[in-house]
Amino acid sequence: MNVIEAISVRRSTRAFLSKSVERDKITTVLEAAVRTPSWANTQPWEVFVATGDTLDRIKKQYQQKHAESAKAAPETPRPTEWPDAAKNRIQQMHKDMKIDCGDAVEQFAALNQSMFNAPAVIYICMDKSLSQWSLYDIGAYSQNILLAAVEQGLAAIQAINLVQYPDVLRRELKIPDNLKITIGIAIGYPDKENKINNFVSRRTSLEETVRFLD
């Protein structure tokens, strides 16, 4: 598989099989991602991989928090305002999801709340004292994980909902105080029977976002 092919077939998977992911596949993915460029080669990522009993405990506590309507508190806060262009694309995404997934779209919230039933979640943290530029590095690192996952025959999704209860993650993953939890990536084998995975997100044309100036 070449890089352009991997970029174009990758998509966010929102329902996984319970089948566990081979440890060596996750290691291969992380070994590939470690080649991500970063500011002055600072390599700011600190990674915690939750599987098995650890992930089960996290899932149970997340379910409990949802049942209590506990307020989500990701350590990088959700944006409160979007510019019009972004707002329109969010609305379009919801419309497209209904078209592609039909009734399965009603499972969107529940699957988000149950960590997409993923057998493994890669949590990425960085030192709290780092600047926003390191978040840029973390984004690039995440994308390389997603692409390497495709190459390994795995499916994945990065999701803020995976990091919405940091107190649970800190306790279960023994995350040191100096680290900020940035994002979680659920990884595993896709449940191809679940129509929520039929969603193929659209993109704008280049004309809308790119200016060539000769």
| Residue 201 binds ligand FMN, judged by CB under 6 A | yes
Q: Is 112 a binder of ligand FMN (CB under 6 A)? A: yes
Among the listed ranges 7-15, 20-28, 55-63, 126-134, the one in contact with ligand FMN (CB under 6 A) is: 7-15
Report how far residue 116's alpha carbon sits from residue 118's, in angstroms, rounded to the nearest whole number.
Answer: 5
* Closer CB to ligand FMN, 23 or 94, in the complex: 94
Rounded CA-CA distance 127/47 in Å is 11
Q: Centre a 10 Å sphere on the Cβ of residue 24 and count the other Cβ atoms it contains.
A: 10
Name the residue nearer to ligand FMN (CB basis): 34 or 86. 86
Binding status of residue 99 toward ligand FMN by CB under 6 A: no
Q: Rounded to the nearest whole angstrom, what is the least distance from the CB of residue 91 to ligand FMN in the complex?
A: 12
Amino acid identity at 18 = S
With b meaning 16 or more CB within 10 Å and e meaning fewer, what string describes 141-167?
bbebbbbbbbbbebbbbbbebbbbbbe
Residue 103 is given by DSSP the state G
Confirm or reject binding of residue 98 to ligand FMN (CB under 6 A): no
Binding site for ligand FMN (CB under 6 A): 11-12, 14, 93, 112, 157-161, 183, 201
